[in-house]
Amino acid sequence: MKKIVLSSLLVSTLALSASAFETGIISHVELGYVGTTGNTETQTFTFDGNLKRDWEKHAMLIKADAAYGEDSDVETKNKYFIEGAYDYKVTDNVAFNYIAAYKKDKFTDYNYQAYTGPGIKYKAIKTEQHVLDLTASALYSFDQFKIDDENDDYASYKLELKYDYKILENLKFNQELNYRSAFDDSEKYFVFSKSAITTKISDILSAGLSYKVDYINSVADDKEKSDNTLAFNLIFDY
């Protein structure tokens, strides 16, 4: 399984880099790993990647997030997420936005989750040191549960924050935070946070440390609400 995971991550990285060089699309790839040995043997592999293209008033972004973990050769984490977004710039600071996303996590109550819908993006801060983007979306959400393959579709909303802080020329802090909830059920909500610090090694290579929190409020009694991942990352920017 380890070879499969590593091979998949390598293939994904090469595919993104090839696409970037051939088309001029900006790509960003993070490969992460944490391992422990001794009384327990644990390993966690993570992948973050995105492709972005801007032209005139338009922008397209595709991003993916995946994680796989083992504890003493027993699978403990197996999840992935992919989201596509389109922006149409109205002013320098405001853009209309449309997103579509799909998420699958083997160790939750869901077979999968999906959502899509329009929104608006606002660039609240843009300086040499600080960049802050805020996005609000109205969504149609669809969840399929593992129990009897039951389905639930509902109207929801998503609030998202992305903050970049250039501490030094070669040292950056990044924070992503989003909150998604059903309009008619305040107890049905999901939170995702990623905090990362990166240092640049060369024009295309950086190293970093990231901490992710994936929180589901409504879960079965035998499930944990929060899934947390700490990873050391090798980062490629093309």
Helices (DSSP H) in the chain: which residue ranges?
A: 2-23
pLDDT for the residue numbered 154: 97
101, 105, 111, 116 alpha-carbon torsion, rounded to 10°: -10
> By three-state DSSP, how is residue 20 classified?
helix
Beta strand extents in 23-73 (DSSP E only): 26-36, 42-55, 58-71
**Strand 58-71 to strand 74-89: parallel, antiparallel, or no bridges (unpaired)?**
antiparallel
For residue 15, what pLDDT is reported? 52
pLDDT of residue 24: 56
| Bridge pairing between strands 110-126 and 74-89 | unpaired
The reported pLDDT for the residue numbered 6 is 42
Residue whose token pair is 């050769």: 73
Model pLDDT, residue 147: 83
Which parts of the chain sit beneath pLDDT 50?
Answer: 1-14, 16-17, 20-21
Q: How far apart are CA 2 and CA 93, in angstroms?
A: 44
Predicted confidence at residue 142, as pLDDT, reads 97
Q: Which helix (H) or strand (E) holds 187?
A: none
- Nearest Cα residue to 81 out of 118, 55, 60, 106: 106
Q: What is the CB neighbour count within 10 angstroms for residue 221?
A: 4
Q: What is the pLDDT of residue 31?
A: 93
Q: What's residue 2's pLDDT?
A: 45
**pLDDT tens digit sequence for 136-191:** 999 999 999 988 888 999 999 999 999 999 999 999 999 999 999 999 999 999 99
Helix, coil or strand: residue 136? strand
Q: pTM (2 decimals)?
A: 0.86
Residue ranges of domains in the chain, CATH in brackets: 2-237 (2.40.160.40)
Look at residues 158, 150, 102 and name the one whose alpha carbon lies nearest to residue 134: 158
- pLDDT of 198 reads 97
